[in-house]
Amino acid sequence: MQELAHFIDGQHAKGTSGRFADIFNPATGEVQAKVPLASKAELDAAVASAAAAQPAWAATNPQRRARVLMEFVRLLNRDMDKLAEALSREHGKTLPDAAGDVQRGLEVVEFCIGAPHLLKGEYTDSAGPGIDMYSMRQALGVVAGITPFNFPAMIPMWKFAPAIACGNAFILKPSERDPSVPIMLAELMKEAGLPDGILQVVNGDKEAVDAILDNPTIQGIGFVGSTPIAEYIYSRGCANGKRVQCFGGAKNHMIVMPDADMDQAADALVGAGYGAAGERCMAISVAVPVGDATADKLIEKLVPRIEALKVGPYTSGKDVDYGPLVTAAAKERVLGLVNSGVEQGADLVVDGRGFNLQGYEDGFFVGPHLFDRVTRDMDIYKEEIFGPVLSTVRAQSYEEALGYAMDHEYGNGTAIFTRDGDAARDFANRINIGMVGINVPIPVPLAYHTFGGWKKSGFGDLNQHGPDAFKFYTRTKTVTARWPSGIKEGGEFSIPVME
């Protein structure tokens, strides 16, 4: 059986803790590899070597740092198919979806190539008599990222690309469920010319996470995962004096107005609700049609589309719509929530509980489910399911529909489908959610904007990627300089003011 390793100081490093986690093939349920789980001592050693390497990297011209990222982009394109296959093998995504995972990370790297411009400070000439003022954006030092299983290529790149472009060294703690692609990314960064020690991949579980939170050298931490863990990391990291950004769970609503194109809305819901088996923080998991007539039309359009979905392993070809969930525990949890929806009175219009794929009976596949007449008090409405389950909540007015999204504790993404520009504009202005789609079901911003949710979906005052990333991974230093001329007089003992 394959045994993975950490990636420390530019090379693979065997684990020394004696602890391992199994890596499953989600399609078959078989253990295909094992990954070492780092001890606190291993994590601290990786941080120490990163700290030793970081000053020279920070002193490197930003344009030269950007050239490493330029070469990294070339290598990502070269190895796209290889990365996608490795990602599918451990996560279960279809190959096109896995390639999209890599591509959306690559686009953030492309944005970070503009680091020389993004790191420019400000300058004021003659702020006072003979006084100039200017600011500098300087690296924090050693920073860390704790990334989830559902995007093992994209989110690590969202974290380490801007951090490294800013001159930091980066400790990546990827998910232990699918760690191969993060290690491959580190190998490609080395091949692109990144000095050893600047990107360290340390595999681990809670022990490694706590070591990151408590290590005094680490100055900043980025996290993506569930809300309870986001709250834990944010509170403990901040208590230790670190800069922390955490992104948690989601329950994304899509409002369907009576004037919407129902075919367009149904297609959008199927793709956004069932793509990647629903294991996306931006998945649409709640449809909110306005009016019973709208709801009836929408359900009528959805049912045949959902029943026609092709579920299977990535090896079955590019026409597979989605694959298995990542673990047996994830499958059990999703089916448990489906059963709770039935018990609590929701109408299960499409029942995927009996789904069985011949030859893959031990895989973690879950058939598609569609609920109608879901209410606020049901578990399937309150909780993030993270599976191929779409709930329909009927609203009798636009204001009621708006309230469903606004009142929910999560505020990651949302969408409205309508032909009415006034309704769309009102929705975008009033909704208390971080990312909004207008006739766009999954409104993930492009790399030059920022990604982040509100309410219990996001913790911290800066978002991921885009300009916010360069603010998060740097500190601003302001310099006031005077070069006196003429006769020097005595000291000033009152606070200086502008004359």
Q: Give catalytic residues, as residue numbers.
A: 281
Neighbour tally for 355: CB within 10 Å: 14
Pairing of strands 243-247, 369-372: unpaired
Q: Give DSSP secondary structure letters for 75-110.
A: HHHHTHHHHHHHHHHHH---HHHHHHHHHHHHHHHH
Q: CA-CA distance, 422 to 381, in Å (whole number)?
A: 28
Residue with tokens 């050239």: 67
Give the span between the Cα atoms of 173 and 176, in whole angstroms: 8
Taking the C-alpha atoms of residue 227 and residue 382, their distance in angstroms, rounded to an integer, is 13
Q: What does DSSP say about strands 142-146 and 218-224: parallel, antiparallel, or unpaired?
A: parallel
Closest-CA residue to 460 (of 102, 173, 221): 221
CA dist., res. 94 & res. 77, Å (int): 18
CA distance 364 to 228: 24
Strand ranges of the sheet holding 123-128, from the earlier edge strand across to the other edge: 123-128, 131-139, 474-482
Classify residue 230 as left (phi > 0), alpha (psi -120 to 50) or beta: alpha
Q: What does the alpha-carbon distance between residue 284 and residue 302 come to, in Å, rounded to a whole number?
A: 14
Considering only CA atoms, which of 146, 205, 212, 198 is closest in space to residue 174?
Answer: 146
Of 427, 436, 399, the C-alpha closest to 291 is: 399
Q: Which contiguous run of DSSP H or E holds residue 299? A: helix 292-307
Rounded to 5 degrees, what angle do the CA atoms 306, 326, 329 make?
A: 100
**Which contacts (CB < 8 Å, 24+ apart) does range 237-240 have?**
237/213, 240/213, 240/214, 240/216
Token pair listed for 336: 């448990």
Torsion sign, CA atoms 35, 39, 43, 45 = negative
Q: Where are the beta strands (DSSP E) in 373-473?
A: 389-392, 410-411, 413-417, 435-438, 454-455, 458-459
